[in-house]
Chains A and B, each alone.
Chain A
Amino acid sequence: MKKQAKFGIGIGIILVALAFLAWLGYGESKTYYHTIAELQTLKSYERSQRMRVGGTVAVGSIRRLAGRVDFVLEGEGKALPVSYAGSDPLPDTFVDKSQALVEGHLGADGQFAAEHVQAKCASKYEAAPGGDVKGAAASSSQPSSM
C-alpha cells in the first residue's frame, strides 16, 4: 500500500503541474473562430477576444503599404477590412480570390489587425468547358446510358 501511495503521489504531482501549465497556455493562446457575418453580432467583450476569421480575398483589394499589407476579406455577402503587420512573409498562395484565414484582434474602427495569415488557392480545374466539372464528373466504371 505504501509503495502504491508513493507512485500515486508522484503521478499526481506530475499531472497537476502539467494541467496547470496547459491551463496557462490555453489562456494565452485561445482563439475564437468567427465568420465575417458573425462579427457584427458579437457582444462587446467578445469583440476584444483573440479570433480567427476565414473568407475570400476580394479582387484587387490587396494593397502593400510600408510595414503592412491591407486587404479585404469577403464572405456571406459581408466584407471585412484587414491589416496585416506580422513579420512573416505572406504565403505564396495569398492572391486575389484565394481563401484566407486571418488571426488577430478586431479593432474599434472595425478594421481587423491580423498577426497571422494563412491562404489557399481555390482549385482551378472547375473552370472546364461546359461549366462545373466537379458536379458532372462521372465514374468511368459505371457509365450511364450511353
Chain B
Amino acid sequence: MDVFGSFALLLALACAVYAFVGGIAAIITRHPLLVKSTRQAGMATCGLIFLATFSLVYLFFTDNYSIAYVVSHSNRDLSTFYKVAALWSGMEGSLLFWSFLLAVYVLSVLIAYRNKNGELMPYVGVVMAGVQIFFLTLNNFVESPFKALAVPGADGVLSYFTRADGNGLNPLLQYPEMVIHPPNLYSGYTGFTIPFAFALGALLARYPGEKWIHLTRKWTMIAWMFQSLGIMLGAHWAYAVLGWGGYWGWDPVENASLLPWLTGTAFLHSVMMQEKRGMMKVWNVWLVFCTFLLCIMGTFLTRSGVVSSVHAFAQSNIGPWFVAFMGITLLVCFGAYLKNRDYLASENHLDSVVSRESSFLFNNLLFLVACIAVLSGTLFPVFSEWFTGNRISVGAPYFNRVNIPVGLLILFLTGVGPLLAWRKTSTESLKRNFGWPLLIGVVVGAVAFVLGFREFFSVVCLILCMFVASTILLEFYRGAKVIRARSGASYPACAIDLTMRNTRRYGGYVIHIGMVFVFIGLSGAAFNRDVQKSMHMGDAMQIGPYTLVLQGVDTKPERNYTAQRMLVEVLRDNKPMMMLFPEKRNFLTNKENGTMVAIYSTLKEDLYVVFAGIDPDAQLPVIHAFLNPLVKWIWFGGVTVVFGTLIALLPNRRSVLVLAPAQQPSAVHPLPHAVTSSVALREGHD
C-alpha cells in the first residue's frame, strides 16, 4: 500500500505538471481539446491525491509498522478516532493533508465551472495546478509520508524491517477537538487558494468587470468560515488541554492562523466597495494575494519551526522550499499587476468622511494595521537576527498594546459602518440610526462603572458591545416591522423572513452579533483570578464564590494511558454543588504526560481546575484553580459567527422560489436580488 501511495503521488505530480504546462499552451493556442485535456488532468491530479491519502489512512488502520510515519505517530492501542487524526499529526502527513484538502477545492471548482466562464477557467486552472505542483513536490521528494523503515547492512544494502508497535500519538493531540481543529484550519488555509487563483487568473486574462469577485465570494466565505472555526477550536483546545488558564498566548502558530483571517476579513468587506462603487480594485487584488501568501506562510511557520513555539521546535528542511515558493508567487503576482494594472483603474472617488465607503476604508486600514502588527511581532526574532545579529522576540504586552485598541475601533465600525449611506450620510439619518444605541451603550457603561468595573478597556468594550448589538437589533426590528405591516406574522417569523430575503446582509449582521459575543468574552480576561495550593485530603481552598474540597486522588487505568485523577468537591455558599475530576494522564507507549482540565462553565464565569502535579517535598497533590469570567461567550460567539456565515451562503429566498437553474453561476445570481430587495425594504422605513 505504501508503494501504491507513492506512485499515486508521483503520477499526481505528473498530471499537475501537465495541467500547468498544457494549460499555458491552451491559453496561447486556444485549442478547445487542449483546454479540455488540461482540465481533465487537473481532475486526475485530485483523484490521485485522494488515492494517496486513503492509502496512508489504510496503513494507519492496518497498523503497518514498517512505515516510519506510522511508527512515529500511532500505536496498536490508539483508538480508531485518533488514528484518523494521526494522519495530520506530523510534518509529512500534514503536508499530504494540505494537498488532499486543496484537491477537494480544486476538484469542486473544476467540476462546478466545467462548462462556464470559458475565457477565465484555463487561467484559474493553471494557477491552481501551480500551487498543487509545489505541494506535490514536497510530498514526493522532500517530506514523503511513505518512507519505509530500513537500515543499511555492512555491504551498504538497505534491509527493511518492521517494528512490533508504534510510538503512539503525541498526548497533547489526543483530545477530541484536536481531531477537528487541524482539518478546519487547513481547510481555511487551502480554501484561500481558490479566490487567489481567480484573482490572479482574472488579472492575467484581463477578465471583464467584477465577475471574478462574484464568482469567488462563496469560496472566500467558505474558506473564511473554516479559518474562523479553526482559530476558535485551536483557542478552545489550548484552553482545555494546556492547563494554563488562557486561550490565546500570541504564540507564533496562533498568530500564523490569525494573519490570513485578518486580511481575509478585510477582503470580504472591501469587495463590497468594488461591487457597488467600482473602487479599490488594486487594493482587493493585493488583499487576496496577501491572504494567500499569509496562508502559505502560516503553513510554513507551523511546520518549519523558524520561530520557536509550542507547536514547532525542531528546525526542518522544508524552510527554503517555502521561502522560494512565496518568492516566486510574489514575483508572479507583481509581474501580473505591473503588466495589467491599467485594468484595475478605479471608477469612483471618496466623497465624504461620514459614508459607507470611508467606513470600509477605515475598516480595511485597521485590519491591515492589526495584520502588520501581528506579523512583525511574530517574525521579529527572524528579522532582528538578520539585521542586528541579536535574536529578539516580543511578547504579549506588544501584541496587546496594539491589538486591543485596534480591535475596539473595528468593533465600533461594526456598529457604525453598515448603517452609513453610500457616498454621504445626513445628520438626520445619523440621529435616527445611532441615537438609541448610543444612549443604551453609555447607560450600560455608566452602570458598570458605578458597580465598580474600572478596567478602562473592558468598560469601553462593554459600551461598544451594547452599542453594536443595539444597532443590529434595531435593524432587524425595523425590517421585521415593514414585513409585519404587510403579512401580519409575528416579529420573530418576520425577522426570519427578512433574513431569508437578503441572506448576505442579515447573515452578515448575525456574524457581527457573534463578534460582539466574542468581544464580551475577551473583555472578561481583565478580571481573571487564580489560586494554587498543595492539598491534604479534606483540605479546602476558596476561589471567588466557590470552595474546593479535595476528597481523594485515584488512578484510573485506560487502554492507552493511565489517568491520575483528583476528586474535587465544589461548594457554593457551603452547599455542595458537584464533583470535578481534573486528570493527569500518563501515556504508556511514549511515557509522555497530558493534562485534562476540569471546567465548570457558566455564562458568568468558568471555574477551571487543574491537577498541577504532586508537590515533591510534601508528596501532596497541587490544585491550580482559575476563575475566568465570561469565557463561554467567546465559544458561543464563534458558533454564532459560523451560523451567520452559513446563512450568508444561502441563496436568497425569492430566487429559491423561482427555482434558479443550476447552470447559472450561483454566486452571481443572488446579487441583483440583494440590491433590489434591500432597496425595497429600506424604502419601507427610510
A residues adjacent to B (C-beta < 8 A): 3-4, 6-7, 10-11, 14-15, 17-18, 21-22, 24-26, 28-34, 52, 54, 63-66, 87-93, 95, 99, 101, 118, 120-121, 123-125, 128-131, 133, 136-141, 143-146
Classify the secondary structure of A's interface with B: mixed
Residues of A within 8 A of B147 (CB): 137-140
> Which chain B residue shows the least CB distance to A65?
B617
- Tell me which of B150, B242, B373 contacts A136 (CB under 8 A): B150
- Tell me which of B151, B373, B584 contacts A133 (CB under 8 A): B151
CB within 8 Å of A: which B328-355 residues: 350-353
CB within 8 Å of A: which B369-417 residues: 369, 373, 381, 385, 390-402, 405-406, 409
| 10 nearest CB pairs, A to B | A141-B6, A33-B391, A25-B401, A25-B398, A92-B593, A29-B395, A130-B151, A64-B616, A89-B612, A140-B148
Give the shortest distance, in Å, between A59 (CB) and chain B (any CB): 14
Distance between Cα atoms of A6 and B151 in the complex (Å):
71
Residues of B within 8 A of A18 (CB): 369, 373, 402, 405-406
- Tell me which of B313, B394, B400, B616 contacts A99 (CB under 8 A): B313
Q: Could you tell me if B393 and A33 are in contact, using CB atoms closer than 8 angstroms? A: yes
Residues of B within 8 A of A65 (CB): 617
Residues of B within 8 A of A89 (CB): 243-244, 595, 610, 612-613, 622, 624
Q: Could you tell me if B149 and A133 are in contact, using CB atoms closer than 8 angstroms? A: yes
Residues of A within 8 A of B678 (CB): none
> Which chain A residue shows the least CB distance to B390?
A32
Q: Could you tell me if A7 and B353 are in contact, using CB atoms closer than 8 angstroms? A: yes
Distance between Cα atoms of A118 and B314 in the complex (Å):
13
B489 at the interface (CB under 8 A from A): no
Q: Could you tell me if B151 and A30 are in contact, using CB atoms closer than 8 angstroms? A: no
> Which chain A residue shows the least CB distance to B614?
A64
B152 at the interface (CB under 8 A from A): yes
Give the shortest distance, in Å, between B400 (CB) and chain A (any CB): 7
Give the shortest distance, in Å, between B457 (CB) and chain A (any CB): 12
Residues of A within 8 A of B158 (CB): 136, 138, 143-144, 146
Residues of B within 8 A of A101 (CB): 308, 313
Give the shortest distance, in Å, between B298 (CB) and chain A (any CB): 20
> Which chain A residue shows the least CB distance to B151?
A130
Q: Could you tell me if B532 and A30 are in contact, using CB atoms closer than 8 angstroms? A: no
- Tell me which of A25, A136, A137 contacts B397 (CB under 8 A): A25
B96 at the interface (CB under 8 A from A): no
Residues of A within 8 A of B474 (CB): none
Q: Could you tell me if B398 and A29 are in contact, using CB atoms closer than 8 angstroms? A: yes
Known: A11-B365, A18-B373, A101-B308; 19 extra A-B contacts, CB below 8 A, are: A3-B350, A4-B350, A10-B362, A14-B362, A22-B398, A28-B398, A32-B390, A32-B392, A64-B616, A66-B617, A88-B244, A89-B610, A89-B613, A92-B171, A101-B313, A125-B167, A131-B151, A140-B146, A141-B146
Q: Could you tell me if A128 and B149 are in contact, using CB atoms closer than 8 angstroms? A: yes
B3 at the interface (CB under 8 A from A): yes
Q: Could you tell me if B71 and A31 are in contact, using CB atoms closer than 8 angstroms? A: no
Q: Could you tell me if B617 and A25 are in contact, using CB atoms closer than 8 angstroms? A: no
Residues 156-171 of B, flagged 1 when their CB comes within 8 A of A and 0 if not, give 0110110100010001
B455 at the interface (CB under 8 A from A): no
Residues of B within 8 A of A31 (CB): 392-395
Of A6, A123, A133, chain B has the most CB atoms within 10 Å of the CB of A133
Give the shortest distance, in Å, between B613 (CB) and chain A (any CB): 6
Q: Could you tell me if B381 and A33 are in contact, using CB atoms closer than 8 angstroms? A: yes
Residues 589-631 of B, flagged 1 when their CB comes within 8 A of A and 0 if not, give 0111111000000000000001011011100001010000000
Distance between Cα atoms of A17 and B373 in the complex (Å):
13
Residues of B within 8 A of A124 (CB): 167, 590
Q: Could you tell me if B350 and A7 are in contact, using CB atoms closer than 8 angstroms? A: yes
> Which chain B residue shows the least CB distance to A93?
B592
Residues of A within 8 A of B160 (CB): 140
Distance between Cα atoms of A22 and B374 in the complex (Å):
10
Distance between Cα atoms of A17 and B400 in the complex (Å):
14
Q: Could you tell me if B610 and A10 are in contact, using CB atoms closer than 8 angstroms? A: no
Residues of B within 8 A of A146 (CB): 157-158
